[in-house]
């Protein structure tokens, strides 16, 4: 290898220097408020399990077998952490995302058909339109640098609003967007502090600041659902139509207006920012490594021949998909998932007691020395053979029965948008404006993803 190639191969995309040792408690709470990645010690990328005690007993689990035990084999003993639920409940009720046991199970069974391959493919045109609109906006914005994070937030919100409450004039999209963003950013700050039992003297934002906004939004959603139920489904059923039509195959039970509303709002909360972040980080990585970008563009242009990508193109865009997989490994939007243990247990040698917090630091898992070669480097080819990826070692969508219901929806949307935009523009980074990975509730590129977008 020539010297230049060596240094190119060793270059690493932006990352956070994980802490070596948990520092004194006051200092680490402050660091954590700024960036939750600061709670993950560097040893989480080398060890299989780490245990500690702050205000509460906690464990971080990185061994794939132990993770399988928590997320699959003993799923009933490890419900989602209580504080996360308490915080999300005002926004999304007892929906699929936070319900447990029988109430979770019937909602999952009833919602699953809406996310079948056939139904997700049928929603492809909404994603293709959003990709076209994003291309139009970026073309207009040039030749200045564009914040691809903002662009992707707009594009993914267009998609999720269209497939949940499309054409329902009574539903003010911007108001919904504002209310959800305000609530989630507030809730996110508090919830992760609470997961680790932050001492009560830590200053926290008011829990209620956006509550009125949320309750108005819930009412607007109820009206929109009732209007749709009266009007009937459109020619291509969207998620609301599919849920309205849905029925638990076991009990025959149907969702009430309130249950429909909570689940649709859940899809908006869980599905929109996460997909936007995946795309924003993918664009950052393509600008970081122009060789990868050229290869991806070559694939996209060969398949698309000037048109925007559709759901049918997915099997022909494997390299675009690998870039998304790799972005999700390096910058998983859900960087940590947490559970509250119900029973005493031994997980990979850790002594678990009831009420202990059990975290799976997905960010550290993606960069684990025992699981990946050159873990901090951007190498989409590691996903060329997906069968070679060890199960429970790569968890951007979680796993087990609580695995993300929208994973194929998100991947389809991300491939369509990334392929379309790479086929139309060359993206280059702007010196001195690299984003910083910061996790509050999700792992965001702080400062935005500013790129020059040169039309082709």
The secondary structure of residue 21, as a DSSP letter, is S
- Interface with ligand HEM, residue 405, by CB under 6 A: yes
Is the peptide bond preceding residue 408 cis, with omega within 30 degrees of 0?
Answer: no
Tell me which of 171, 183, 283, 397 binds ligand HEM, using CB under 6 A: 397
Q: How far is the CB of 3 from ligand HEM (least distance, A)?
A: 38
Pairing of strands 357-360, 57-61: parallel
Token couple for 162: 């269209």
Residues 96-115 close enough to bind ligand HEM by CB under 6 A? 96-97, 108
Binding piece for ligand HEM, criterion CB under 6 A, among 215-223, 300-308, 347-355, 395-403: 395-403
Q: Which residue is nearest to ligand HEM (CB)?
A: 406
Token couple for 253: 């039970």
* Residues 385/100, Cβ–Cβ less than 8 Å: no
- Interface with ligand HEM, residue 165, by CB under 6 A: no
Tell me which of 38, 147, 278, 293 binds ligand HEM, using CB under 6 A: 278
Tell me which of 45, 275, 412, 423 binds ligand HEM, using CB under 6 A: 275
Tell me which of 22, 398, 428, 452 binds ligand HEM, using CB under 6 A: 398
The secondary structure of residue 35, as a DSSP letter, is -
Number of residues that bind ligand HEM (CB under 6 A): 23
Q: What's the rounded Cα separation, in Å, for the pair 192 and 194?
A: 5
Tell me which of 64, 380, 396, 448 binds ligand HEM, using CB under 6 A: 396
Q: How far is the CB of 348 from ligand HEM (least distance, A)?
A: 19
Residue 252 backbone dihedrals phi, psi, to 5 degrees: 80, 0
Pairing of strands 49-53, 57-61: antiparallel
- Interface with ligand HEM, residue 198, by CB under 6 A: no
- Interface with ligand HEM, residue 92, by CB under 6 A: no
Residue 196 or 334 with smaller CB distance to ligand HEM = 334
Tell me which of 188, 271, 335, 366 binds ligand HEM, using CB under 6 A: 271
Residue 217 backbone dihedrals phi, psi, to 5 degrees: -65, -40
Among 280, 281, 317, which residue's Cα sits nearest to residue 301?
317
102: left (phi over 0), alpha (psi -120 to 50) or beta: alpha
Residues 211-240 close enough to bind ligand HEM by CB under 6 A? none
- Interface with ligand HEM, residue 267, by CB under 6 A: yes
- Interface with ligand HEM, residue 417, by CB under 6 A: no
Q: How far is CA 348 from CA 19, 59, 63, 378, in A?
A: 23, 11, 7, 30
Q: What's the rounded Cα separation, in Å, for the pair 298 and 302?
A: 6
Q: What's the rounded Cα separation, in Å, for the pair 296 and 415?
A: 11
Binding piece for ligand HEM, criterion CB under 6 A, among 25-33, 250-258, 344-352, 391-399: 391-399
- What residues line the site for ligand HEM (CB under 6 A)? 80, 96-97, 108, 266-267, 270-271, 274-275, 278, 333-334, 337, 396-398, 402, 404-406, 409-410
């Amino acid at each position: 290898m020539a010297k230049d190639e060596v240094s190119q191969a060793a270059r690493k995309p932006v990352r956070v220097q994980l802490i070596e040792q948990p520092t004194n408690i006051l200092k680490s709470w402050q660091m954590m408020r700024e960036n939750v990645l600061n709670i993950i010690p560097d040893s989480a990328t080398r060890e299989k399990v780490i245990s500690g005690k702050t205000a509460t007993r906690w464990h971080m689990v990185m061994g794939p077998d132990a993770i399988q035990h928590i997320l699959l084999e003993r799923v009933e003993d490890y419900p989602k952490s209580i504080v996360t639920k308490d915080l999300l409940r005002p926004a999304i009720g007892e929906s699929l995302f936070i319900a447990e046991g029988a109430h979770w199970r019937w909602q999952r069974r009833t919602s699953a058909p809406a996310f079948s391959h056939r139904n997700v493919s049928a929603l492809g045109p909404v994603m293709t339109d959003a990709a076209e609109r994003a291309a139009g906006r970026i073309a207009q914005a040039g030749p200045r640098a564009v914040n691809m994070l903002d662009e992707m937030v707009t594009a993914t919100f267009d998609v999720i609003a269209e497939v949940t409450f499309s054409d329902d004039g009574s539903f003010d999209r911007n108001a919904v967007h504002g209310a959800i963003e305000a609530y989630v950013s507030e809730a996110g700050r508090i919830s992760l502090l609470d997961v680790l039992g932050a001492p009560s003297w830590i200053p926290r934002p008011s829990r209620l600041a956006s509550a009125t906004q949320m309750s108005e939004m819930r009412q607007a959603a109820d009206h929109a659902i009732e209007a749709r139920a009266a009007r009937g489904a459109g020619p291509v059923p969207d998620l609301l139509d599919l849920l309205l039509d849905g029925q638990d195959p076991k009990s025959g039970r149907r969702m009430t207006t309130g249950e429909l509303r909570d689940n649709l709002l859940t899809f908006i909360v869980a599905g929109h920012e996460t997909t936007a972040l995946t795309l924003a980080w993918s664009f950052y990585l393509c600008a970081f490594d122009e060789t990868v970008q050229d290869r991806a563009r070559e694939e996209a242009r060969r398949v698309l021949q000037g048109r925007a990508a559709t759901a049918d193109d997915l099997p022909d865009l494997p390299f675009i998909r690998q870039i998304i997989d790799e972005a999700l490994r390096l910058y998983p939007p859900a960087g940590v998932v947490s559970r509250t243990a119900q029973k005493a247990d031994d997980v990979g040698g850790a002594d678990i007691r009831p009420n202990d917090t059990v975290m799976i630091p997905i960010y550290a898992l993606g960069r684990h020395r025992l699981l990946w070669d050159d873990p901090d480097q951007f190498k989409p080819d590691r996903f060329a053979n997906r069968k070679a990826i060890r199960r429970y070692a790569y968890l951007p969508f979680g796993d087990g029965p609580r695995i993300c219901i929208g994973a194929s929806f998100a991947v389809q949307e991300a491939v369509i948008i990334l392929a379309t935009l790479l086929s139309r523009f060359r993206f280059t980074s702007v010196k001195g404006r690299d984003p910083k990975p910061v996790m509050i509730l999700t792992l965001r590129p702080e400062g935005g993803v500013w790129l020059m977008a040169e039309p082709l």
